[in-house]
Amino acid sequence: MRRKIAAGNWKMNTSKHEAESLIRELLQGTWGDEVEMIVAVPFTHLAWVGEWLGGDARIAVAAQNCHHMSHGAYTGEVSASMVVEAGAKYVILGHSERREYFDESDDLVNSKIRAALDNGLRAIFCLGEPLEIRQADGHVEYVLNQLERGLRGISLEEMDQLVIAYEPIWAIGTGVTASPDQAEEMHEAIRSRCTRWWGARKAAAIPILYGGSVKASNAHELFGQRNIDGGLIGGASLDAKDFLEIAKSF
């Protein structure tokens, strides 16, 4: 059976104090054993969060980005191995905010995925179309193109280290969620493309998350779709009660 994942993307939010309260509240919560909870926190919080978790294996820590080079004169950047040393098991790559505000291309995202996998970091690879592409009915082609470019050169064995997150840009932080049918259409297309490349068994095992205004009130219906294996949750992950509710929505 595929892993189920509730991943929180905190973005550039939380003071140290707020982060600690959030983690402590999550630790007091309960959710299904089959659900892996992930918190993607700012770089500065990675090691602290690991400490607060105190080895609790129910919650994994993720970074929200990493550089594609291993080291060198890249002022302000953080490498995949540094992220691993700080205690992260996952890294979010290709988020639309990185693509938009930091000009990250599919090729750059591909190099970052390479760097993550080479360092034993699992990649949460984000894809998603802007509104005008959906309105012109080009969304499936657009996202499959991102998928192909982002995963170029990734081997069959490495697919086990990958999580895909479909996040339509028009649904991120807007309060507008893709309908379960819209999301399922894309998840199904992504999985069929993976089946074509890597075979049915591998493709069936890849967790594909939906992201974009996931809330406690819509999570159950979204996660009930055949090809939706959980969520990448921004805003609602900053409230422990909401996030726990979402983690229980499978």
Catalytic residue annotation = 95, 167
* Least distance in angstroms from the C-beta of 8 to ligand PGA: 9
Closer by beta carbon to ligand PGA, 8 or else 50: 8
Residue in the structure block whose two tokens are 């997150």: 165
Contact pick of 64, 234, 244, 249 for ligand PGA (by CB under 6 A): 234
* Least distance in angstroms from the C-beta of 211 to ligand PGA: 4
Q: What torsion do the CA atoms of 222, 161, 126, 83 make, to the nearest 10 degrees?
A: 120
Of the candidates 151, 148, 146, 113, which has an alpha carbon nearest to the alpha carbon of residue 129? 146
Closer by beta carbon to ligand PGA, 99 or else 203: 99
What part of residues 68-87 is at the interface with ligand PGA (CB under 6 A)? none
Stretch in the footprint of ligand PGA (CB under 6 A) among 25-33, 69-77, 131-139, 229-237: 229-237
DSSP line for 80-139? HHHHHHTT-SEEEES-HHHHHHS---HHHHHHHHHHHHHTTPEEEEEE---HHHHHTT-H
d(CA 107, CA 95): 14
- Record the tokens describing residue 106, joined without a space: 């599919």
Closer by beta carbon to ligand PGA, 203 or else 240: 240
Closer by beta carbon to ligand PGA, 83 or else 246: 246
- Record the tokens describing residue 135, joined without a space: 């309105």
Residue 213 binds ligand PGA, judged by CB under 6 A: yes
* Least distance in angstroms from the C-beta of 170 to ligand PGA: 10
Residues 214 and 236 sit within 8 Å (Cβ to Cβ): yes
Contact pick of 120, 173, 199, 224 for ligand PGA (by CB under 6 A): 173
For ligand PGA (CB under 6 A), the number of binding residues is 13
Stretch in the footprint of ligand PGA (CB under 6 A) among 23-31, 59-67, 70-78, 226-234: 226-234
Q: Is the dihedral of CA 77, 81, 83, 86 positive or negative?
A: negative
Residue 235 binds ligand PGA, judged by CB under 6 A: yes
Collapsing DSSP to helix, strand or coil, 194 comes out as helix
Which residues contact ligand PGA by CB under 6 A? Answer: 9, 167, 172-173, 211-214, 232-236
